[in-house]
């Protein structure tokens, strides 16, 4: 993403913001105002000059793909992370919290996707935890439960018995209990971090009713969700982040769906025009066999059955928003998750790929999007990380000799331009981009015929990004099949010959890349697929989106 | 032990950077304390007739052998993010099996001794297999699994000997604990050879790398195609077999198995030796050399307590103080505190550039 384009976009957003401000004239001062927030982690700029304003009595959505900086921004607000520069004003005065509890005592409560409540206590005890009503002989449980009941009634949850154990109610109700708890603590700001990702349609509606009620009471709600339909149903205003940068703040009603999608994923129009057709190839010669083909490949709660084929030397892009199932499909192909339906043919032979060991045995390699948790083995050296998959294939009894290890290191550290190219350095001390290159080297060293890359360029600097993209194009020219997954659509369009478009855990289309294809084509495809829901005033989530059941992250 | 030093100087250089440098320091300190009490403490005398060495240091080597065995097994288990609480009980089982067998055989022959050893180690391996299967295939927590085995093993030992402390007489078996090879105690020589073999096995094959991978990041290891099940079963079996060896060592010296006392709370000694040796209880990187040094330290500590005539009621407290001190010196925070002080006095250094 050229910074020049980002700048011009920011200018445009400035204009939009001024307009919005006029609309706000009636509203009061913002209760939370974060200005020019920057946070840097070793090797990564997590946030750069990000703005956020929260007004009392509004639902404000934080939008962005994975790694855009949404959670980092929330953690900066609540003081979990220290900010490197910028200012945070709460109710007009500068504040720097020392953690979630500190923020809560100042009236800023956070409800996470994974509910932070005590399963073994009752609903009422959870609501009142830390705010129990005390009498002469310790806690007055009767009054405490009474107060809990009142708090629940206040949110329209009068039916809920405060003496019920928390573990006996559904996750959705637990979430509402967590919100009641925030309200007992007299919160003026409520942060809901992906509260809907494991709820069904009615539960979402229940949550939204409570949110509207709180909004009308003057609470400022910061809402994080990646379900577009829900965002349009509930939010008044939204702030879009991308790669840790502030993209813009908009009134939801002023912003169309496709506009929003393109803001989130970012588009570099000039680059697109020049590169859109780079990887186009003439139609497949008839009779050529795909290296990998699967029919009805699926896993319950993860992705609905999909047909997919990858030819030798072809780059197939998987495009879709966060939670669309693009990662899940990649994992099924490698065997990282066990598919529960589908027939797979690899190199003309029918096989089953139900574990990473089986994936590697059939010459498939999968580079995960979750580099830290599923990619690198942090305390081991670059060399050990590089040889790990090859060594696993050979088994424990046939260790690679010192010379073989050195050859692999020399080859891939130089070829992929890893810096510093010291093979004996612990990999955790490398920057994100260089860790990614070492992992790419790990998979290439297994000599795969199908390489699945899930977000190989995320969270790394532009230089490394270009190098990795180049490496992928070269590999495909040498005959390797590549499945390329990225949240940046222009990257997918630039590299792929064919693009499989996914939405809400199912495949909605397949595009053969050509001169006319741009990121817009994909955006339109995704946006139009949900258009039926858009027209309807009331919120009607799509069944497919709700089948996700917490598998989104 | 794992990477033989090319020269004494380089060995010292690399050792200073190791976390077990504090264990070595403590070891030296204990010896100095003993030396102050009795200037001839470190003296080693040679028996002119048999060539046997004797002295306090030799006693320490002899006593360290069983701890060394269980510490090495424990190191590998801990490296996989596990723990093996059952080693003490497996020692008792192994001792009970061998004593009972030789008692019944009653002939005191070499054959019955070898048979007893094979039987003891076989049963130990089986107990380790149960641990390994429960942890890796069934997915029980290592702590719970081996805690159960700790109770069950002690019970099994009592069943084998019908609750009695069984004695037997067998020359070869006694020689293991009390004999000498080239002047050194046989137990120490056998122990050192076994440690060297295990070190060669894990460091010359890819086992060490794989064990460390699943200990550091099990998810990433799985994605890289490493199968954890076999590795886990291997480390639990190895730990149990080494505990079996330790059981033979400690019963052979008295030729009696005391079912309630043999190996009692030995798991604590093993875990302490591992921790002192610098292997993190969180799993991952492990150091067999460190654990061996830890075992030597614990043996020295035990001997010192006796030598200084510290009342037996105060023994655990004394042991605890020494170990807490070492662990404190090894902890990241205390180290950071030290280095901060150093940094304050010297010129502030630039952070390492991550390119």
Query: CB–CB of A111/A190 below 8 Å?
Result: yes
Contacts of A366 in chain B (CB under 8 A): 223
Separation CA B195–CA B68 (nearest Å): 8
Share of chain B above pLDDT 70, in %: 90
Measure in Å the smallest separation between the Cα of A412 and chain B Cα atoms. 17
Instruction: Cis check for the bond before A420: say yes or no (omega within 30 of 0).
Output: yes
Where is average pLDDT lowest: A329-338, A453-462, B76-85, B149-158? A453-462
**Full DSSP string of A316-334:** EEEE--TTSSHHHHHHHHH
- Check if A392 contacts B (Cβ < 8 Å): yes
Please provide the average confidence, as pLDDT, over all residues in chain B. 88
SS3 A267: coil
C-beta atoms of B206 and A396 within 8 A: yes
pLDDT tens digits, A312-363: 888 999 998 877 888 999 999 999 999 999 999 998 899 999 999 999 999 9
C-beta atoms of B205 and A374 within 8 A: no
| Closest in A376, A400, A419 to B220, CB measured | A376
C-beta atoms of A399 and B206 within 8 A: yes
Q: What is the pLDDT of residue B342?
A: 60
Confidence band for A461, pLDDT divided at 50, 70 and 90: low
Block residue for tokens 């510490």: B71
| Closest in B206, B213, B231 to A377, CB measured | B213
Q: Which fold has domain A289-363+449-553?
A: Rossmann fold (3.40.50)
Confidence band for A381, pLDDT divided at 50, 70 and 90: very high
Measure in Å the smallest separation between the Cα of A256 and chain B Cα atoms. 40
CA distances from A228 to A323, A415, B75 (A): 11, 41, 51
pLDDT tens digits, B175-202: 998 888 888 999 999 999 999 999 999 9
Q: Which of A337-346, B142-151, B332-341 has the highest mean pLDDT?
A: B142-151
Separation CA B13–CA A372 (nearest Å): 33
- Check if A336 contacts B (Cβ < 8 Å): yes
Query: CB–CB of A328/A339 below 8 Å?
Result: no
Contacts of B205 in chain A (CB under 8 A): 396-397, 399
- Kindly state the helix (H) or strand (E) to which residue A453 belongs, with its residue range: strand A450-454
C-beta atoms of B217 and A431 within 8 A: no
Nearest residue in chain B measured CA to CA from A370: B220
Nearest residue in chain B measured CA to CA from A391: B206
Nearest residue in chain A measured CA to CA from B234: A396
| Closest in A42, A43, A389 to B225, CB measured | A389
Measure in Å the smallest separation between the Cα of A96 and chain B Cα atoms. 26
Query: CB–CB of A223/A192 below 8 Å?
Result: yes
C-beta atoms of B213 and A394 within 8 A: no
Say yes or no to pLDDT of A550 above 50: no
Measure in Å the smallest separation between the Cα of B44 and chain A Cα atoms. 42
Say yes or no to pLDDT of A254 above 60: yes
- In B242-272, which positions are buried (b, 16+ CB within 10 angstroms) versus exposed (e)? bbbbbbbbbbbbebebbbeebbeebbbbbbb
Q: What is the pLDDT of residue A178?
A: 86
Contacts of A430 in chain B (CB under 8 A): 354
Nearest residue in chain B measured CA to CA from A361: B225
- Check if A393 contacts B (Cβ < 8 Å): yes
Q: What is the pLDDT of residue A111?
A: 85
Say yes or no to pLDDT of B69 above 90: yes
Confidence band for B15, pLDDT divided at 50, 70 and 90: low
pLDDT tens digits, A128-175: 888 888 888 888 888 888 888 988 888 878 888 888 888 888 777 888
A303-310 and A292-299: which strand pairing? antiparallel
Specify the CATH number of the domain B24-309: 1.10.3470
Where is average pLDDT lowest: A264-273, A513-522, A542-551? A542-551
Say yes or no to pLDDT of A285 above 60: no
C-beta atoms of B216 and A377 within 8 A: yes
Please list the alpha-helical segments (H only) found in B134-185. 142-160, 171-178
C-beta atoms of A373 and B206 within 8 A: no
- Check if A431 contacts B (Cβ < 8 Å): yes
Which residues in B have their CB inside 8 Å of a CB on A? 204-207, 209-210, 212-213, 216-217, 219-227, 231, 284-285, 352, 354-355
Where is average pLDDT lowest: A91-100, A197-206, A436-445, B45-54? A197-206
Confidence band for B148, pLDDT divided at 50, 70 and 90: very high
Please provide the average confidence, as pLDDT, over all residues in chain A. 81
pLDDT tens digits, A84-93: 888 898 888 8
Nearest residue in chain A measured CA to CA from B222: A356
Say yes or no to pLDDT of A20 above 90: no
Query: CB–CB of B95/B251 below 8 Å?
Result: yes
Separation CA A328–CA A299 (nearest Å): 9
Strand partners, A346: A292, A349
| Closest in A398, A419, A442 to B224, CB measured | A442
- What tokens does B232 get? 């886990």
Tell me the mean pLDDT in the region A442-450: 94
Higher pLDDT, B58 or A523: B58
Q: What is the pLDDT of residue A338?
A: 92
Domains A3-255 and A289-363+449-553 are alike in CATH topology: yes
Higher pLDDT, A296 or A120: A296
Measure in Å the smallest separation between the Cα of B10 and chain A Cα atoms. 18
- Check if A137 contacts B (Cβ < 8 Å): no
Nearest residue in chain B measured CA to CA from A464: B355
Picking from A380, A389, A400 by the largest number of B CB atoms within 10 A of its own CB, the best residue to mutate is A380
Say yes or no to pLDDT of A198 above 70: no
Higher pLDDT, A530 or B278: B278
Measure in Å the smallest separation between the Cα of A495 and chain B Cα atoms. 25
pLDDT tens digits, B200-245: 999 999 999 999 999 999 999 999 999 999 999 999 999 999 999 9
Confidence band for A420, pLDDT divided at 50, 70 and 90: confident
Query: CB–CB of A499/A526 below 8 Å?
Result: no
| Closest in B205, B210, B222 to A356, CB measured | B222
Say yes or no to pLDDT of B130 above 80: yes
Confidence band for A279, pLDDT divided at 50, 70 and 90: very low
Q: How many CB pairs under 8 A join A and B?
A: 84
Query: CB–CB of B251/B262 below 8 Å?
Result: yes
Say yes or no to pLDDT of B94 above 90: yes
Confidence band for A181, pLDDT divided at 50, 70 and 90: confident
In the 3-class helix/strand/coil scheme, how is A41-72 assigned residue by residue?
A: ECCEEEEEEEEEEECCCCEEEEECCCCCCHHH
Burial of residue B338, with CB atoms counted within 10 A of its CB: 0-12 exposed, 13-18 middle, 19 or more buried: exposed
Say yes or no to pLDDT of A548 above 70: no
Query: CB–CB of A112/A157 below 8 Å?
Result: no
Report helix angle A382-394 to B207-216, nearest 10.
110
Query: CB–CB of A85/A38 below 8 Å?
Result: yes
What's the pTM?
0.72
Picking from B76, B80, B224, B284 by the largest number of A CB atoms within 10 A of its own CB, the best residue to mutate is B224
Nearest residue in chain B measured CA to CA from A389: B224
Distance of CA B293 to the CA centre of its chain: 9
pLDDT tens digits, B103-126: 998 888 899 999 999 999 999 999
The ranges assigned to domains in chain A are 3-255, 289-363+449-553, 371-447
Tell me the mean pLDDT in the region A218-243: 86
Higher pLDDT, A412 or B8: A412
Q: What is the pLDDT of residue A114?
A: 65
Block residue for tokens 């809990």: A148
Q: What is the pLDDT of residue B351?
A: 40
SS3 B27: helix
C-beta atoms of A397 and B206 within 8 A: yes
Q: What is the pLDDT of residue B333?
A: 76
The ranges assigned to domains in chain B are 24-309
- What tokens does A528 get? 């139009």
- Check if A374 contacts B (Cβ < 8 Å): yes
Q: Which fold has domain A3-255?
A: Rossmann fold (3.40.50)
- Check if A434 contacts B (Cβ < 8 Å): yes
C-beta atoms of B212 and A366 within 8 A: no
Tell me the mean pLDDT in the region B44-66: 86
Nearest residue in chain B measured CA to CA from A428: B354
Query: CB–CB of B333/B313 below 8 Å?
Result: no
Say yes or no to pLDDT of A8 above 60: no
C-beta atoms of B219 and A374 within 8 A: yes
C-beta atoms of A42 and B354 within 8 A: yes
Q: What is the pLDDT of residue B341?
A: 65
CA-derived radius of gyration, chain B: 21
Where is average pLDDT lowest: A459-463, B29-33, B93-97? A459-463
């Amino acid at each position: 993403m050229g910074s020049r384009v980002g700048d011009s976009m920011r200018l445009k957003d400035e204009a939009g913001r001024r307009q919005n401000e006029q609309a706000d004239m009636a509203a009061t001062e913002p209760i939370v105002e974060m200005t020019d927030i920057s946070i840097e982690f070793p090797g990564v700029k997590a946030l750069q000059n990000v703005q956020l304003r929260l007004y009392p009595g509004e639902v404000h959505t934080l939008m962005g793909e994975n790694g855009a900086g949404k959670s980092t921004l929330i953690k900066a607000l609540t003081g979990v992370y220290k900010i490197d520069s910028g200012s945070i004003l709460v109710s007009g005065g500068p504040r720097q919290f020392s953690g979630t509890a500190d923020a809560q005592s100042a009236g800023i409560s956070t409800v996470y996707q994974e509910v932070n409540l005590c399963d073994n206590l009752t609903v009422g005890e959870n609501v009142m935890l830390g705010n129990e009503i005390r009498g002469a002989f310790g806690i007055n449980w009767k009054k405490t439960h009474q107060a809990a009941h009142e708090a629940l009634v206040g949110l329209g949850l009068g039916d809920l018995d405060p003496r019920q154990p928390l573990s006996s109610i559904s996750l959705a109700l637990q979430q509402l209990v967590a919100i009641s708890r925030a309200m007992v603590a007299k919160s003026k700001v409520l942060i809901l971090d992906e509260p809907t990702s494991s709820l069904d349609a009615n539960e979402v509606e229940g949550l939204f009713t409570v949110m509207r009620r709180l909004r009308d009471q003057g609470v400022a709600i910061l809402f994080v969700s990646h379900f577009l339909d829900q965002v349009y149903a509930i939010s008044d205003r939204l702030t879009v982040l991308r790669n840790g940068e502030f993209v813009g703040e908009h009134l939801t009603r002023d912003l169309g769906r496709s506009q929003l999608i393109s803001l989130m994923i970012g588009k570099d129009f000039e680059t697109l025009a020049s590169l859109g057709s780079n990887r186009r190839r003439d139609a497949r010669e008839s009779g050529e066999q795909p290296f990998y083909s699967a029919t009805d490949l699926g896993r319950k709660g993860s992705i609905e059955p999909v047909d997919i084929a990858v030819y030798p030397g072809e780059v197939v892009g998987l495009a879709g928003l966060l939670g669309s199932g693009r990662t899940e499909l990649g994992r099924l192909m490698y065997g990282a998750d066990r598919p529960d339906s589908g027939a797979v043919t690899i190199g003309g032979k029918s096989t089953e790929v139900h574990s990473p060991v089986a994936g590697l045995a059939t010459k498939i390699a999968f580079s995960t999007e979750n580099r830290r948790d599923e990619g690198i083995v942090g305390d081991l050296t670059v060399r050990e990380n590089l040889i790990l998959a090859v060594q696993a294939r050979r088994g424990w009894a046939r260790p690679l000799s010192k010379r073989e290890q050195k050859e692999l290191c020399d080859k891939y550290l130089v070829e992929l331009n890893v810096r510093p190219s010291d093979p004996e350095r612990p990999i955790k001390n490398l920057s994100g981009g260089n860790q990614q290159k070492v992992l790419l080297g790990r998979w290439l060293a297994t000599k795969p015929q199908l390489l699945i890359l899930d977000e190989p360029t995320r969270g790394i600097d532009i230089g490394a990004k270009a190098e990795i993209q180049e490496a992928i194009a070269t590999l495909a020219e040498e005959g390797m099949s590549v499945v390329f997954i990225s949240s940046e659509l222009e990257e997918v369009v630039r590299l792929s010959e064919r693009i499989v478009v996914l939405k809400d855990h199912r495949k909605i289309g397949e595009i053969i890349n050509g001169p006319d294809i741009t990121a817009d084509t994909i955006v339109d495809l995704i946006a139009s697929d949900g258009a039926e829901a858009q027209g309807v005033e009331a919120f009607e989530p799509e069944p497919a989106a709700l089948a996700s059941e917490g598998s989104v992250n | 032990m794992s990477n033989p030093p090319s020269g004494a100087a380089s060995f010292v250089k690399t050792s200073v950077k190791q976390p077990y440098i504090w264990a070595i320091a403590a070891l030296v300190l204990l010896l100095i304390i003993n030396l102050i009490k009795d200037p001839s403490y470190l003296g080693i005398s040679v028996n002119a007739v048999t060539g046997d060495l004797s002295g306090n240091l030799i006693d320490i080597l002899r006593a360290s052998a069983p701890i060394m065995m269980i510490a090495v097994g424990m190191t590998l288990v801990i490296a996989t993010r596990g723990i093996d609480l059952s080693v003490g009980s497996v020692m008792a089982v192994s001792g009970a099996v061998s004593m009972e067998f030789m008692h019944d055989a009653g002939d005191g022959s070499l054959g019955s001794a070898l048979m007893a050893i094979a039987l003891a180690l076989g049963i130990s391996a089986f107990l380790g297999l149960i641990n390994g299967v429960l942890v890796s295939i069934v997915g029980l927590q290592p702590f719970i699994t081996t805690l159960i085995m700790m109770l069950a093993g002690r019970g099994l030992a009592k069943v084998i000997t019908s609750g009695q402390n069984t004695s037997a007489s067998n020359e070869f078996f006694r020689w293991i604990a009390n004999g000498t090879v080239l002047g050194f105690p046989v137990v120490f020589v056998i122990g050192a050879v076994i440690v060297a073999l295990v070190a060669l096995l894990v460091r010359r094959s890819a086992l060490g790398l794989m064990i460390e991978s699943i200990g550091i990041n099990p998810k990433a290891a799985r994605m890289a195609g490493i199968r954890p099940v076999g590795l886990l079963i291997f480390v639990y079996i190895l730990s149990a077999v080494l505990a079996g060896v330790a059981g033979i060592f400690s019963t052979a010296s008295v030729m009696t198995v005391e079912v309630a006392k043999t190996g009692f709370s030995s798991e604590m000694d093993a875990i302490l030796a591992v921790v002192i040796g610098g292997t993190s209880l969180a799993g991952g990187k492990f150091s067999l050399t460190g654990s061996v040094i830890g075992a030597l330290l614990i043996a020295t500590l035990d001997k010192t307590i006796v030598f200084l005539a510290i009342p037996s009621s105060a023994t655990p407290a004394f042991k605890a103080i020494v170990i807490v001190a070492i662990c404190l010196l090894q902890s990241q925070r205390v180290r950071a505190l030290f280095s901060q002080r150093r940094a304050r006095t010297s010129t502030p250094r630039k952070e390492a550039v991550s390119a």
